[in-house]
Structure 1
């Protein structure tokens, strides 16, 4: 077995930890109505953005590893969303996004925490040799595990930033 890339893995762990901390902060103190509030009829609400960033991370890390998806194992039922079990947010219509609703923001944080644990467990198992493994040959160049995990982190960071922006608008509306 190859030695682990401790610097690369440490950076990824730090990046995903920052996402976890940001998720808890962006949801903190928002009511269920605020988590579902949309800037306009086609915009994504804070809660949906948090669910989607967690769901895409969960789905892709579960696919890269031999670990079970928290969404499929437990959270698709616990969150009570009216989405199909395989839904991740990709390709959803504005109407489908508008159906988002959770009874408590702590459920979103709990789901993200479970996803974060999946990610950290997976990162513990990755070795130097794993990073160059092709995980999607349908692109030119083919997508390696390293490229995929960076895409997951980037997507999470972008959606967290969007959620933080919408939260800021919400907090200004409270005044």
Structure 2
């Protein structure tokens, strides 16, 4: 298994878990918060998808699916079309609403792009340095992939926890 396969498999496993957690949730339930300082499921799903889209567009030298597919016109974050969730205030998080079908459609389009881009990234590219705007950070592409996978696992876990918090046990088939 090469790095691209490992990244794709890790994303697939986490995505399958997220889809199980989302199954049967309404649009309204996506935006419930256990308290005023917690991110809702819908925001977490959107943010982790934006992070994947951003990294793969930079690593693959392609435009973001967010802009190219005009997802920013369907999913309208309060901080504007360039927003990816990083640095959002809790007021912005609470003001954000999108339909489950749009969030899942965007996630599916991003994953399709990810699976097309990953095999085309040569192993040597993982050592190339790229910027991470708006933060003044320059890191290796491989480091960003590691951060992406960790971030994705964290947010998938948060989504699963919130699903259990709101609906109780028994939603996982294992």
TM-score of the pair, normalised by structure 1: 0.86
Answer yes or no: is 1:152 the counterpart of 2:144. Answer: no
Give me the CA root mean square deviation. Answer: 2.0
1:38, CA displacement in angstroms?
0.4
Residue of structure 1 equivalent to 2:172: none
In the alignment, does 2:119 pair up with 1:124? yes
Deviation at 1:119, TM superposition (A): 1.3
Q: 2:93 aligns with which of 69, 73, 97?
A: 97
Q: TM-score, normalised by structure 2?
A: 0.86
2:15–2:156 contact (8 Å) kept in structure 1 = no
Cα deviations by residue, 1:11-53 (Å, 9 ceiling, x for unpaired):
1110111233233222221111110000001111111111111
What displacement does 1:125 show? Answer: 0.5
Which protein shows a greater Rg? Answer: 1
**1:66 aligned onto 2:61:** yes
Contact 1:20 1:116 in 2 (8 A): no
**Structure 1: runs of 5 or more not aligned:** 1-5
Alignment size in residue pairs = 165
Would you say 1:133 and 2:122 are equivalent positions? Answer: no
Aligned to 1:23: 18
Aligned CA distance change for structure 1 residues 107 and 50 (closer, same or farther; 3 Å): same
Give 5+ residue unaligned stretches, structure 2: 170-174
